[in-house]
Amino acid sequence: MAFDILEFFTRRIHGAPSWPPLLVKADWEQRQQWRRRFVNDWGEMLQHTERFHPEHRKSIYTPVPMAREMARLSAALLFSDPVKVTLPNEEEEARRQRNAKRQAEKDKRNPFLDEAEKTPAPEEGDKAVPGGGDAPPKPPSKDKPSGPPSKDKPEIKDKPETPAQAEEDPDAETKADEILLGGEPPKSPLQIKLEELLEANGIDPFLQESAEKIASEGRGAIRVIRDPEVADNTPYLTWVAEDQCLWDVRYGRAIVGGVAIFEVAPLDKDGNTKEVYRLFEEHTTGHVERKVYKGTTQHQGKVVPPGEWPEEWKGMEVSYDTGLDVSTLIRWENVPGGYSDIAGLDALLDNLNESESLMLDKGRKSIPHVFADRTLSDEEGKVDLEGVILTGDPNITGEWGANVAKSVEVAQPELQTEAHIAWIDHVREMIATHAGYSSASWGIGEEGRTDSGTALQLRQARTLLTRSGKERMATEAITNALAVALAWYVKNGSEAKTKDFRPDVMLGNGLPTDPVEKANELSTRKSSGIVSLRQAVREQHPDWTEDQVDEEVDLIEGDTALPPMLEAAMNPQLNPNSPFAGDEDEGEGEDEEQGDS
């Protein structure tokens, strides 16, 4: 039954459901507190602190934006590099075709191979079948009959094989080169749809922004919708905060759906809010239903018909089917349990704000004050010097003494800067450590250090462990959301199983690397035979395309390899007349003779 989740969460008080629902009220308020620390608005923060209520202390209140910086660091660790999204078999198939092209190109330059022995270049459409197996046979060509050639009808050749036939098609060699050395291998229709989906959603900025909110609030949702005015009917990913969600949780862990809640609070002529409209959008398996309630800030209110919906929601479909076997509201948690990075750190964050505020207070009080005897004033009792405080006898007619310096004194309170800064650094380090980050990630205690590469990563081991847990949660949520969007995009409302559309999502490293140290490591691994040249180039340049990797490998091999004719002539497997032919057999014979003796 529609909206049974809502009926479960709300509790009726005198015939009207209270708002927010009692079962989630405490959780929502906690997440709103975490959000306030992320936004770090001075006025909002001052209203929710008890340490600076006296008027004379409000001017020194200095909230430190550390919660925001932790959320930004968390998001950067996951999404500082573009997210790589491919279909499970697409990258493997592309690599297979690239290798086939390279081998065909090498065989083409080998003068000792017959045409039948050369590797054929892959053609467009010659793709491996997902899940293994052989590709289905291609339909017979119109110009070439299927089956073995008969005696009466000679076999028709697709490609010229003799110089005379090659002259008939002067562009034959150029066309072959284009096939062999062309650009990226042809993409499957599903991969094309996936890339269209990613581009329409601006996936990288969306994930970066969402990850900051996830780190600060602990949990949220990715909502998949369709709106022709936004993305030309392409499924669109939006963010929903946790205090706007009611989840249908089974057995304490299985999420089978949820309700996304949005509010509009019109202002009356006096600028006050009396009525609140709430849109309840319930996402269940294969179905979405919307209802609007008109109530107050304290009560949910009653359902209103679509004709009375606010302008922001008019035109929305009341309900529609998605055809999917899962909900289009996907939960995303920061860490298991849905906790914020600053969970349990409220007291330490308040101490940090107080310490910075007292630092400002001490700084103001440490301004030097000049005290001067009133005998230095003019006939009106004034001194033409800013900041001078007159002391002594109020008689303004006295003569200046011989020693004017004794009539002027300067007082300056001691600030004790070093001790105060040391305390602030201690509090910052406590917050960062208990949030799951290393001190090195914040630059604490890094003065004068120039470590990089492995040494830097070892000192950030705690940060890397925290990132690993966040990466698992983020990858699962993003994969589920993209599978929902892709299945909906391809099937367009028809029945679909989202497991058939799950892409592979790979996040970047997130930490800086030392290119020189990495190059030395790859060189050692390659010399040891545990990594190929291609893989070494790919790891050294993770942002390169496969075509760029191929080009670099060709250049490296071209600098170190023998000319093709000489290489083929010296290869005993390709040239029986090679001076190295028979060495292997002779060696085996010698071993056998020594064994017999």
Delimit the domains of the chain by residue range: 1-87+188-363+416-440+454-512, 368-411
What value does the mean pLDDT take over residues 105-120?
66
Say which residue, 342 or 132, is predicted with more confidence. 342
pLDDT at 202 over 50: yes
Of the pLDDT bands very low, low, confident and very high (cuts 50, 70, 90), residue 128 is very low
Share of the chain above pLDDT 90, in %: 42
Residues 51 and 347: beta-carbon distance below 8 Å: no
pLDDT at 416 over 60: yes
Tell me how far apart the alpha carbons of residues 544 and 553 are, in angstroms, rounded to a whole number: 12
CA–CA distance from 590 to each of 96, 162, 572, 573 (Å)? 41, 45, 19, 21
pLDDT of residue 363: 81
pLDDT at 242 over 50: yes
374 phi/psi in degrees, rounded to 5: -65, -15
Of the pLDDT bands very low, low, confident and very high (cuts 50, 70, 90), residue 400 is very low
pLDDT of residue 398: 43
Of the pLDDT bands very low, low, confident and very high (cuts 50, 70, 90), residue 176 is very low
pTM: predicted TM-score of the whole model, two decimal places: 0.71
pLDDT at 155 over 60: no
The mean pLDDT of the chain is 77
Beta partners for residue 261, in sequence order: 280
From the CB of residue 252, how many other CB atoms can be counted at a distance below 10 Å? Answer: 5
Of the pLDDT bands very low, low, confident and very high (cuts 50, 70, 90), residue 168 is very low
Beta partners for residue 410, in sequence order: 370
Coil, helix or strand for 372? strand
Hey, CA dihedral for 430, 431, 435, 441, is it positive or negative? Answer: negative
What value does the mean pLDDT take over residues 367-387?
63
Share of the chain above pLDDT 70, in %: 63
User: Left (φ > 0), alpha (ψ -120 to 50) or beta: where does 102 sit?
Assistant: alpha
pLDDT tens-digit series, residues 266-287: 988 887 888 999 999 999 999 9
pLDDT of residue 93: 63
pLDDT of residue 185: 60
pLDDT of residue 456: 65
Which range (47-56, 169-178, 560-569) has the least confidence?
Answer: 169-178
Tell me how far apart the alpha carbons of residues 16 and 301 are, in angstroms, rounded to a whole number: 7
pLDDT of residue 89: 75
Tell me how far apart the alpha carbons of residues 323 and 597 are, in angstroms, rounded to a whole number: 79
Residues 62 and 353: beta-carbon distance below 8 Å: yes
Of the pLDDT bands very low, low, confident and very high (cuts 50, 70, 90), residue 329 is very high
pLDDT of residue 118: 61
pLDDT of residue 449: 60
- Per-residue HEC secondary structure of 96-139 comes to HHHHHHHHHHHHHHCCCCCHHHCCCCCCCCCCCCCCCCCCCCCC
Tell me how far apart the alpha carbons of residues 126 and 137 are, in angstroms, rounded to a whole number: 10
Say which residue, 291 or 564, is predicted with more confidence. 291
Beta partners for residue 282, in sequence order: 259, 289
What's the DSSP call for residue 440? G
Of the pLDDT bands very low, low, confident and very high (cuts 50, 70, 90), residue 574 is low
Tell me how far apart the alpha carbons of residues 498 and 169 are, in angstroms, rounded to a whole number: 49
pLDDT at 403 over 50: no
What value does the mean pLDDT take over residues 448-463?
69
pLDDT of residue 151: 47
Nearest to 223 by CA among 203, 205, 248, 245: 245
Residues 290 and 316: beta-carbon distance below 8 Å: yes
pLDDT at 480 over 50: yes
pLDDT of residue 92: 66
What value does the mean pLDDT take over residues 132-141?
43
pLDDT of residue 478: 98
Q: Strands 369-373 and 388-391: what pairing?
A: parallel
pLDDT of residue 181: 45
pLDDT of residue 59: 84
Of the pLDDT bands very low, low, confident and very high (cuts 50, 70, 90), residue 239 is very high
Of the pLDDT bands very low, low, confident and very high (cuts 50, 70, 90), residue 51 is confident
